[in-house]
Structure 1
Amino acid sequence: MTDKGHLVSPESVIDDGKAPDALRTIGEVARLLGVKPHVLRYWEEQFPMLRPLTRAGNRRYYRAEDVALVATIDRLLNHEGYTIRGARQALDGDLRVNAPVALDKADQGPVSAPLAADRETAPMGKASAALETELVAAVARLRVHLEQIRSGLVAALEDD
């Protein structure tokens, strides 16, 4: 799976006041990413890799990795013009997705340069995809910690 953890809406993970490993409800994820809950449920049907935890009453709980995947799906479909089928193929590793979107509003540029303007394809092995997924999740957690540190520093400076 390529670029699946590159968040489109940074506040969804960084500024929601929850710990990085906290579970989020479908309503929270919908608000944080600016999509409707029914869209998230539809994407769960269309993207087999999107599987939030379910509890009693079929209540959905999204992990940080799930939120990152939803943000990437949103980016592919609503910002880069992929079809559902194309986005699914990209996330399955059949396509190499263009550069990730920045995690921080202060840094609106891409995190890395695009592979090619015309979305060149490059197969990606399962091991590489798994490693990339882990790395993306780790970066997201580090960004959350960085934002918490920044907030603490701002608060400390305001108190002086």
Structure 2
Amino acid sequence: MAKADNAFRTIGEVADELGIAQHVLRYWETRFPQLRPLQRAGNRRYYRPADVALVRRIHTLLNSEGYTIRGVQQLLRSGDAETPQQASPVPPPPAADLIPALEAIRDELHAALAAQ
């Protein structure tokens, strides 16, 4: 039986969802002050939906985007943790514009090699 989207999640559920170990989540709590799940009796952690979203963002930045812990800390501090995939992509220039420029570079390199 699946939980509702707005339900609290245990550390085990979050870890299983992301495919990481629970101790990694506990470590992230020491490195990212923004990540503060509720702790109830016996220090059981309960992640709110906002906490789960933050953990997903941290996981993506660290494991998919190649950021370091320090890099993610800086992004979260600045409030700009938007991943490059979420940012609006800059379209590449049309290939027709590149061909004349590349041909000119090729010709210059050919002339330089011939002069030696």
- Which of 60, 66, 75 is equivalent to 2:51? 66
1:39 aligns with 2:39: no
Say whether the 8 Å CA contact 2:72–2:81 is kept in structure 1: no
Deviation of the 1:98 alpha carbon: 3.0
Inter-CA distance 43–79: structure 2 relative to 1 (3 Å threshold) = same
Distance 1:114 1:60, change over 3 A: farther
Cα deviation, residue 33, structure 1: 1.0
Gaps of 5+ in 2: 91-116
Distance in 2, matches of 1:111 and 1:85, equals: 20
1:17 maps to which residue? Answer: 2
Report the aligned-residue RMSD.
Answer: 2.0
TM-score by length of 1: 0.51
Shift of 1:17: 1.4
- TM (norm. structure 2) is 0.69
Relative distance call for 1:87 and 1:111 in structure 2 (3 A) is closer
Q: What's the % identity of the aligned pairs?
A: 59
* 1:88-103 to 2 correspondences below 5 Å: 88-93=73-78, 95=80, 97-99=82-84
Amino acid at match of 1:93: S
1:26 aligns with 2:1: no
How many positions carry a matched residue from both structures?
90
Confirm whether residue 113 of structure 1 aligns to residue 98 of structure 2: no
Tell me how far apart the structure 1 counterparts of residues 6 and 47 of structure 2 sit (CA, whole Å). 10
